[in-house]
Structure 1
């Protein structure tokens, strides 16, 4: 490329270095001068122009920027280029996620020649859909093709930038307490946690609270897993000071492993990262109770994008790990009041989303099991009835109502801390239909539908419940049933218009006949998981259910409806 001052008479094909405004007409910077432009310049008395003439083998700035930008990304990287302009080509995120950059190769590209300048968002920055995540700027008007070839060689090993999608997670928060702790502490922690998760597209699905004791925390961890939560946060009454402290010991007692303790980030030093199977467990540092940015935010962002940090990843956070962000708003009194005692996990309802209540039937006599009440027997360390109730609590259901009957007091004791509404069925000996009748009568007046869960189905999780709810369309209400291989399972969702008919059912067959008489109103969804069939009636069923539990291996839900 030749840059300099050219006589107007010999400037055909020259690219203007600067915008010219003469006599009411404008020739913009970068314009390639044509014969008509030169005639106008001569008439205006302009004898020379400053600009550049491309040499053979040169690539103009826009084309060069586009070619180099295309080298940075590739298929399945969730980033795409936009048309270049004035020597610049930007890459935009196609979805909300966490930016991953190959810094070493980006540095090599920038060190090739001053003519190419590539800038990106910081490593692991949060990017919104459509946001610029990288920009390529060609400094002069053109670059030699050999420079683009050199860039191509560096980029040949694969994409240099990708955006890891932030995927929605169903998150449990476990709060432990010591005598004398203020309720405002729990309310503030719930509010701050919900704020964090909402900002990253995930949901605080289940809040559990217990004494700050190893056995109690272990039980809560097991409950969170049984409910179907795919990330567990533990906010201890005291911060963990050792791998064998109360909260880490509870995780290992539940079958988990401690991956790493501590991090070179302040605030956030005392964070503990663990796993229970494939489910991440984070024992929060004390600063996790605050909304201010701290090390917990950095770890959460990666976990929610599927970028599980290793020990080395965490220990490399030290440079830049002293977080001194501007003061961010803390929980105000209105938020504390809104969260009440800090145990509510209900998130604001999406505009236009249907109101679906959950109804758990837990009144049966358990006659085929023998002496013990099967609903009180632990499966995977969690009483069976509590597994069903927590699955409903962790789902998107508006409310959870539980019908009790046989040994109602004992069942109620197990569910005392769940926050579910308990309804007594004095007629439970008459069978399941009586529980439906009492349960339907106790549901909130403003709901669009109810999803009915059975208290003796220990493998049902919130994911199953949410999939059934998601298939319900209040504009064209149908009975929604989960199926596998043509066989119907549970739980089943019922639109409000069927409530009266459900309340009129007699005997111990539930609403099976009502489904058969309304076959044209049934919407079937395919779920590739035997959990929708697994109930516990006899001692042998219990052993089989226990053996088949695979915590957090996924529900196997198929997204396509059955046709």
Structure 2
């Protein structure tokens, strides 16, 4: 790849290296410079730019990132669309991340331009958690390096294990004089611990701290996982709980682990079911070695004595400072994005016809647009319609959308947007504002906006652009701008926010011309229908 200062007359087709303001418009870094951009630069008196040119054999950053992601195989994570040379791997459900550090380390040494960063091996993930990110550092990588890096990624270098166990039984032992409240608290803490792993607490059996009684209780348990919490700590393999497991016909895999707190854990098996003798620290909800074992078992991962032996490095949990992951977006919980689909307009240029009921591929364009939003990674779709407007409501029948009625649609787009914002969940990190009369906007348009949203990189307004680079809809706004959106008035929409905050604006390339195709009159619809028929015929 060639990189340097280029006269604008020689810049067409090159990649803009740094964002630049030209005639009041911001040209974003990474943009392929077109003839319109050159004209804009010339009008602004700019004679040269810093740009990158792909050399023969180079691979575009997005194509290279996608190639590395493909080489990882079927890892069980969701892959984002490539964007600015990055592919994010995201957990679709709660579970554990398994990584082959040797394979990834070797790949990261092929060339400095090709990188993968992950969370630690066996990291616990919530639904929507960013597990790994593939990043091509410059605007291109040599194709030979990409091929070599891909060849080093053994299938299984990254693997996601969703939590799959559903129920666990609990045996609590008693000694004379023990307070029943202590047992009840242990039961409640265990139930919460299991709930975090997607499991319910099944039978709870209280028995004397006696080998025979514990053995009988083990025989009564039928859940996929059996937990034991003794009134007295287990001090030896010959103590009550390990002996009871053997008496019931089970076996001991390991007693004791190099994790503190959690040293006195027992792991065994009985009739194909895992049995865990919990250490006393499990009476507290604080992280301990038992959590590491329960997480793996819940994810369907067999745990051996050697696995436990390898937990010593990093096993001093008492000394771990609490901190966020460096690449985590500064937010609480998994990313939550909602779509507000504006369907409140009167469409005066349609001369009395409701354009949202016009058919696209056999269904009303309103329903078509709602289904496109539902097909995306957005968490919820909310459709704003005029109050007492039955035809639009009826066309949405059977779709999993929230219909928001507002009497204020005649006041303009801002009123409809505010009605949608009043309905969103308080934990929402971003909203996508979409128009219901844009029939070539697809689920991919929404997903590309979600992939581009990175508050940690000041990408908090993400606007869809068509294949020609012209901006349009939909537009994603981060929570930073919710109050500004609520303050809008009239029919100006959110354009003034985009103008006021160019530093947060990210133009997002989307396929086709869906982002700018706006059909406002019968003539527009007729021309579009004719064009579609011509495309279909060819």
Correspondent of 2:180 among 177, 180, 183: 183
Residue 298 (structure 1) aligns with: 292
Correspondent of 2:166 among 159, 162, 169: 169
1:408-557 matches, within 5 Å, as none
Residue 36 (structure 1) aligns with: 36
The answer to whether 1:313 aligns with 2:307 is yes
Give the Cα separation in 2 of the matches to 1:191 and 1:249: 27
Q: TM-score, normalised by structure 2?
A: 0.58
Residue 80 (structure 2) aligns with: 82
Q: CA contact under 8 A between 1:177 and 1:210: conserved in structure 2?
A: yes
Q: CA deviation at 1:129?
A: 2.9
SS in 2 for 1:206: strand
Q: CA deviation at 1:57?
A: 1.1
Q: CA contact under 8 A between 2:165 and 2:300: conserved in structure 1?
A: no
In structure 2, do the counterparts of structure 1 residues 168 and 325 end up closer, same or farther at CA, with 3 Å as the change threshold? farther
Residue 152 (structure 2) aligns with: 154
Give the Cα separation in 2 of the matches to 1:34 and 1:325: 55
Larger-gyration structure (1/2):
1
SS in 1 for 2:307: helix
Q: CA deviation at 1:43?
A: 2.0
Q: CA deviation at 1:133?
A: 1.4
Residue 441 (structure 2) aligns with: none
Q: CA deviation at 1:278?
A: 0.9
SS in 2 for 1:100: strand
Residue 127 (structure 2) aligns with: 129
Give the Cα separation in 1 of the matches to 2:92 and 2:70: 15
Residue 218 (structure 2) aligns with: 221
Q: CA deviation at 1:191?
A: 0.9
Give the Cα separation in 2 of the matches to 1:268 and 1:166: 22
The answer to whether 1:20 aligns with 2:14 is no
Give the Cα separation in 2 of the matches to 1:243 and 1:249: 7
Give the Cα separation in 1 of the matches to 2:22 and 2:140: 26
- CA deviations on 1:143-162 (whole Å, 9 max, x unpaired) are 0100111012112x423111
Q: CA contact under 8 A between 1:78 and 1:95: conserved in structure 2?
A: no
Residue 243 (structure 2) aligns with: 249
- CA deviations on 1:49-105 (whole Å, 9 max, x unpaired) are 11211101111111111111221232xx32131111111111122332111111110
Q: CA contact under 8 A between 2:62 and 2:85: conserved in structure 1?
A: yes
Give the Cα separation in 1 of the matches to 2:318 and 2:64: 39
Q: CA contact under 8 A between 2:165 and 2:224: conserved in structure 1?
A: no
1:282-293 matches, within 5 Å, as 282-293=276-287
Residue 73 (structure 1) aligns with: 73
Residue 113 (structure 1) aligns with: 111
SS in 2 for 1:174: strand
Q: CA deviation at 1:273?
A: 0.3
Residue 200 (structure 1) aligns with: 197
- Tell me whether 302-311 or 38-47 shows the greater mean CA deviation: 38-47
Q: CA contact under 8 A between 1:97 and 1:163: conserved in structure 2?
A: yes
The answer to whether 1:265 aligns with 2:262 is no
Q: CA contact under 8 A between 1:120 and 1:135: conserved in structure 2?
A: yes
In structure 2, do the counterparts of structure 1 residues 216 and 327 end up closer, same or farther at CA, with 3 Å as the change threshold? farther
Q: CA deviation at 1:271?
A: 0.2
Residue 557 (structure 1) aligns with: none
In structure 2, do the counterparts of structure 1 residues 152 and 299 end up closer, same or farther at CA, with 3 Å as the change threshold? same
| Number of corresponding residues | 322
Structure 1: which 5+ runs fail to align? 329-563
Q: TM-score, normalised by structure 1?
A: 0.56
RMSD over aligned Cα atoms: 1.6
Q: CA deviation at 1:326?
A: 8.2
- CA deviations on 1:235-256 (whole Å, 9 max, x unpaired) are 0111111111011000000001
Q: CA deviation at 1:325?
A: 7.4
Q: CA contact under 8 A between 1:80 and 1:93: conserved in structure 2?
A: yes
Give the Cα separation in 2 of the matches to 1:44 and 1:21: 9
Q: CA contact under 8 A between 2:23 and 2:41: conserved in structure 1?
A: no
